[in-house]
Amino acid sequence: MERLPKHIAIIMDGNGRWAKEQGQDRLFGHYHGVISVRKVVEAATEIGIEYLTLYAFSTENWDRPQAEVSGLMTLFVDTIAKEVPDLHKNNIKLHFIGNLDMLPKEAQEALSNAMEITAQNTGLTLIIALSYSSRWELVEATKRIAQKVLNGSLDMEHITEAEISENLTTSEFPDPELMIRTSGECRISNFLLYQLAYAELYFTDTLWPAFGKEDLIKALSEYQSRERRFGKTSEQIHTD
Ligand code: IPE
Ligand code: IPE
Ligand code: MG
């Protein structure tokens, strides 16, 4: 239980391929993906992880077939409605990041409702990235900073790394120390580009609907076996 990351970020990938293996359609995979979300949230709570960010839908995912996109939107709304009472009972605080204005009104309402209900909770902070992409987020942050410079509330010299972090959608959370991606794809896919600068990356072939508590523990023990050097030498780390 030592040297645990405070913040884990996960790219939940492989629902479609998992469904195909079962001879089912893609939405079947997304429904089973929700079961993995429940398992991983439970495990993270048990282990005492403070922040868990899950990539549920990217800006690029809007370009998927219309039937899949609307199926996913329905699934989000239904799942949030169904899960919020339990999440609340377990002291979990929900947060959503992304271009939420692009979501259907019904989904937007479900999200703000869920955030409001769980706002005072002090356990795990569960951050769901929905209609999120890192480049979108960086463009928004740049506009906000430029606006401050234009209206005179910020000097150019004060555009620091901290100022950039404060203008991202994740401003309230520490950067993830561990990023997990399932399904064998070894890419970031526009996820938390700035925040993952020094994260440990863990890739597994397991498809998301097959991912559970044991897989999370495996990723954590791999994380614990790594030496995080942050540019220093191994010797420096050991004498620090
Ligand atoms: C991840 O699974 C879920 C979302 C992106 C919404 P995919 O739907 O990408 O599954 P694969 O990659 O096609 O198997
Ligand atoms: C990344 O998965 C986004 C989510 C898991 C929500 P994709 O399946 O959309 O990623 P790419 O496009 O294959 O990289
Ligand atoms: Mg995929």
User: What ligand is nearest to the CA atom of residue 20?
Assistant: 1
| Non-local CB neighbours of 165 within 8 Å, separated by 6+ positions | 171, 194, 195
- Confirm or reject: Cβ of 13 under 6 Å from ligand 2: yes
pLDDT over 90 percentage in the chain: 98
How far, in Å, from the CA of 37 to the mean position of ligand 1?
14
Within 8 A by CB and 6+ apart from 169, the residues are 97, 98, 132, 137, 140
Positive/negative CA dihedral, 39, 23, 206, 7: negative
Q: β-strands 200-203, 93-97: how paired?
A: unpaired
75: tokens are 């699934």
Rounded average pLDDT over 90-108: 97
The helices-and-strands tally (H runs, E runs) of the chain is: 8, 6
Inter-CA distances, 146 with 52, 56, 143, 153, Å: 30, 30, 5, 10
| Ligand with smallest separation from the Cα of 131 | 2
- Cα–Cα nearest to 28, from 216, 207, 213: 207
Indicate if ligand 1 lies below 6 Å from the C-beta of 16.
Answer: yes
Tell me what pLDDT residue 50 has: 98
Q: Is 71 in the pocket of ligand 1 (CB under 6 A)?
A: no
Q: Which atom of ligand 2 is nearest to the CA of 13?
A: 5
- 3-class secondary structure, 16: helix
Give the model's confidence band at 1: pLDDT under 50 very low, under 70 low, under 90 confident, else very high. Answer: confident
pTM: 0.98
Residue to substitute in 26, 183, 189 for testing ligand 2 pocket (most ligand atoms within 8 angstroms of CB): 189
Annotated active-site positions, please?
13, 61
Of all residues in the chain, the percent with pLDDT exceeding 70 is 100
Tens of pLDDT along 208-240?
999 999 999 999 999 999 999 999 999 999 997
Q: Is any ligand 2 atom within 6 A of the Cβ of residue 168?
A: no
Q: Whose CA is nearest to atom 9 of ligand 2?
A: 61
Report all structural domains of the chain as residue ranges with CATH numbers, in order of start.
7-133+175-239 (3.40.1180.10)
Say if CB 11 and CB 182 are below 8 A apart. yes
**Torsion angles phi and psi, residue 135, rounded to 5:** -65, -40
What are the tens digits of pLDDT across the range 155-171?
A: 999 999 999 999 999 99
pLDDT computed for residue 143 by the predictor: 98
168-211 confidence digits (pLDDT tens): 999 999 999 999 999 999 999 999 999 999 999 999 999 999 99
Which run of H or E residues covers position 162?
A: helix 161-166
Would you say 53 and 8 are in contact if contact means Cβ atoms under 8 Å apart? yes
Our CA dihedral for 13, 165, 108, 92, rounded to 10 degrees, sits at 70
Closest CA to 38 of 126, 131, 130, 132: 126
Distances (CA, A) of 204 to 10, 133, 214: 11, 22, 12
Pocket test for ligand 2, best of 68, 128, 180, 185 (most atoms within 8 A of CB): 185
**For residue 2, what pLDDT band results from cuts at 50, 70 and 90?**
confident
* Helix, strand or coil, per DSSP, at residue 33: helix
Give the model confidence (pLDDT) of 37-70 as tens digits.
Answer: 999 999 999 999 999 999 999 999 999 999 999 9
- The DSSP symbol for 92 reads P
pLDDT for 109-161, tens place per residue?
A: 999 999 999 999 999 999 999 999 999 999 999 999 999 999 999 999 999 99
- In ligand 1, which atom is closest to the CA atom of 18? 14
Is residue 15 in contact with ligand 1, taking CB distance under 6 Å?
yes
Does the beta carbon of 137 lie inside 6 Å of ligand 2? no
CA of 207 to the centre of ligand 2 (A): 12
* 11-23 average pLDDT score: 98
